Amino acid sequence: MKFNTKTIHGGQKPDPAYGAVMPPIYQTSTYAQSTPGGHKGFEYSRSGNPTRSALENALASIENGNHGLAFGSGLAAIDAVIKLLEPGDEVVSTNDLYGGSYRLFNSIFKKFGITFHFVGMENAEAIEDYINENTKLIWVETPTNPMMNVIDIKATAAIAKKHKVLLAVDNTFATPYLQQPLDLGADIVMHSVTKYIGGHSDLVMGALVVNDKELADRLYFIQNASGAVCGPQDSFLALRGIKTLHVRMQRHCENGRAVAEYLASHPDIQDVYWPGFESHPNHAVAKSQMKDFGGMVSFTTKGNDYDKAISIVERLKVFTLAESLGGVESLAGHPASMTHASIPKEEREKTGVVDSLIRLSVGIEDQEDLINDLKQAIG
Ligand code: P1T
């Protein structure tokens, strides 16, 4: 089955009870048993729920994986991955990543004796300098949030295999429409489903997809034991979102390109970060591992002018100033004070998250309206 068919049919079948084409929202916490242990596959909705199962199967299908797990948020999914580790273990992570992932690693798991090395991975060989006998996981976000760096998944997977460590890829920005990390050698693919997969800014959810049964069992144990699951109503919404993922992504990519090119031509704009530019340092890798370049675009104002950046985000009318990304509507964010405020200033500035950086999640509105909005806001 090809991708555009998988989004609609992959891992899905009519509900066994009445043949409902869309999985019903099984809004129940528990299930009747005829005798202790005598149930129809579900006992308690933290452990499993038919609507969540339908979603987990669909997620596995679109990521070309064997097992899907859905969580109450993207961070809950990341939390489950790190709980595979033990005190004393080490993780090599992308240095430019979502501020909440950084906070989870640095402010929660560090306390439990796990060491994180934040490394610029644009050159995959740099990762090897940080690998030792305690290293258990490489954590990659690509493209990165918000600097749009691209990391070579295949080359990183080769390093992970060589050193027998797990490779997890946060595929939130790309989505499986653009890249499928398991096919490139990753062990775990992670999503903030809140973003493009949900696609309508109406839910908060996370997901993991893996191929290996033993790894899936360990993650399922953590999911059930820690309990950060998503509910049936949100599972239904995410399933509905998946069905249009390919159509939405196509438009996000077209509009992302138009916005990036417009910004690059504007005299008041300094740098535009978008992997579709031939001048992007990892354009060749992006071209080889992604089908297109996505709808996320970051940029700075000329002379790193903070006041100018703030006036732009305040003046935008079609773009809404808000956290998050990946919905049908266009959003603008100021990473330094919003999504990445939990990263110390000197740390975030090392990766380019300066005070004038603006991040756009380019939606699927009419391209002309988006460009005109930027035009009037930048002046
Ligand atoms: O918000 P949540 O569903 O918990 O997902 C966390 C997360 C993980 N990974 C990436 C790449 C992300 O972008 C996020 C969430 N990001 C935002 C809310 C944001 O505006 O960047």
> Using 50, 70 and 90 to split pLDDT, how confident is the model at 35?
very high
**Does ligand 1 come within 6 angstroms of the Cβ of 170?**
yes
**Does ligand 1 come within 6 angstroms of the Cβ of 192?**
yes
What tens digit of pLDDT does each residue of 198-240 get? Answer: 999 999 999 999 999 999 999 999 999 999 999 999 999 999 9
- Region 77-100 average pLDDT: 97
pLDDT given for residue 49 in this prediction: 98
pLDDT given for residue 278 in this prediction: 98
Catalytic residue among 46, 154, 218, 251: 46
Most ligand 1 atoms within 8 A of CB, residue of 71, 145, 178, 342 to mutate: 145
Let me know if the fold of 3-242 is the same as that of 246-378: no
41 CB neighbour count, 10 Å cutoff = 8
pLDDT given for residue 93 in this prediction: 98
Select the CATH number that applies to the domain covering 246-378 from these four: 3.55.40.10, 3.40.50.970, 3.40.50.460, 3.90.1150.10: 3.90.1150.10
What tens digit of pLDDT does each residue of 132-148 get? Answer: 999 999 999 999 999 99
CA of 261 to the centre of ligand 1 (A): 26
Query: Residue of the nearest CA to atom 12 in ligand 1?
Result: 98
Amino acid identity, position 218: R
DSSP 311-350: HHHHH-SSSEE-S---SSS-EEE-TTTTTTTTS-HHHHHH
Residues 6+ apart with CB under 8 A from 71: 77, 80, 205, 206, 207, 208, 223, 228, 229, 230
Query: Any idea where the domains of the chain sit in the sequence?
Result: 3-242, 246-378
pLDDT given for residue 57 in this prediction: 98
What's the distance, CA 60 to chain centroid? 15
What tens digit of pLDDT does each residue of 151-189 get? Answer: 999 999 999 999 999 999 999 999 999 999 999 999 999
61 close to 10: Cβ distance less than 8 angstroms: yes
Catalytic residue among 26, 98, 102, 196: 98
CA of 194 to the centre of ligand 1 (A): 8
Known catalytic membership, residue 46: yes
**From the CA atom positions of the chain, what is the Rg in Å?**
21
**Does ligand 1 come within 6 angstroms of the Cβ of 98?**
yes
pLDDT given for residue 300 in this prediction: 98
Strands in 188-252 per DSSP E: 188-192, 206-210
Known catalytic membership, residue 98: yes
Catalytic residue among 52, 83, 195, 359: 195
Residue with tokens 């579900």: 42
80 close to 219: Cβ distance less than 8 angstroms: yes
- Region 255-279 average pLDDT: 98
- Region 291-314 average pLDDT: 97
Q: Which atom of ligand 1 is nearest to the CA of 323?
A: 20
Most ligand 1 atoms within 8 A of CB, residue of 192, 331, 351, 358 to mutate: 192
336 close to 273: Cβ distance less than 8 angstroms: no
pLDDT given for residue 308 in this prediction: 97
> Using 50, 70 and 90 to split pLDDT, how confident is the model at 241?
very high
What tens digit of pLDDT does each residue of 351-373 get? Answer: 999 999 999 999 999 999 999 99
> Using 50, 70 and 90 to split pLDDT, how confident is the model at 18?
very high
CA of 35 to the centre of ligand 1 (A): 43
Dihedral (CA of 65, 71, 73, 79) sign: negative
Q: Which atom of ligand 1 is nearest to the CA of 77?
A: 4
User: In the chain, pLDDT over 90 holds for what percent of residues?
Assistant: 98
255 close to 370: Cβ distance less than 8 angstroms: yes
Q: Which atom of ligand 1 is nearest to the CA of 325?
A: 20
On average, the pLDDT of the chain sits at: 97
Strands, sheet with 166-170, edge to edge from the N-terminal-most edge strand:
67-71, 206-210, 188-192, 166-170, 135-141, 90-94, 115-119
Most ligand 1 atoms within 8 A of CB, residue of 105, 178, 195, 342 to mutate: 195
- Region 90-117 average pLDDT: 97
Query: Residue of the nearest CA to atom 5 in ligand 1?
Result: 74
What tens digit of pLDDT does each residue of 39-63 get? Answer: 999 999 999 999 999 999 999 999 9
Q: Class of the 3-242 domain?
A: alpha beta
